[in-house]
Amino acid sequence: MSTALRVVDNPDRSRYEGWSGDALIGLADYRSAADGVVAIPHTEVDPSRQGQGIAGAIVQFALDDLREKGFRVIPSCPYVRHWINQHPQYADLVA
9: domain CATH number is 3.40.630.30
CA-based nearest residue to 80, from 32, 27, 1: 27
Q: Residue 18 and residue 48: Cα distance in Å, rounded?
A: 14
Confidence of residue 13 (pLDDT cuts 50, 70, 90): very high
- pLDDT tens, residue by residue, 42-83: 999 999 999 999 999 999 999 999 999 999 999 999 999 999
Owning domain of residue 76: 5-93
Total structural domains within the chain:
1
Task: Give pTM, 2 decimals.
Answer: 0.93
pLDDT computed for residue 24 by the predictor: 97
pLDDT computed for residue 34 by the predictor: 86
Give the three-state DSSP class for 63: helix
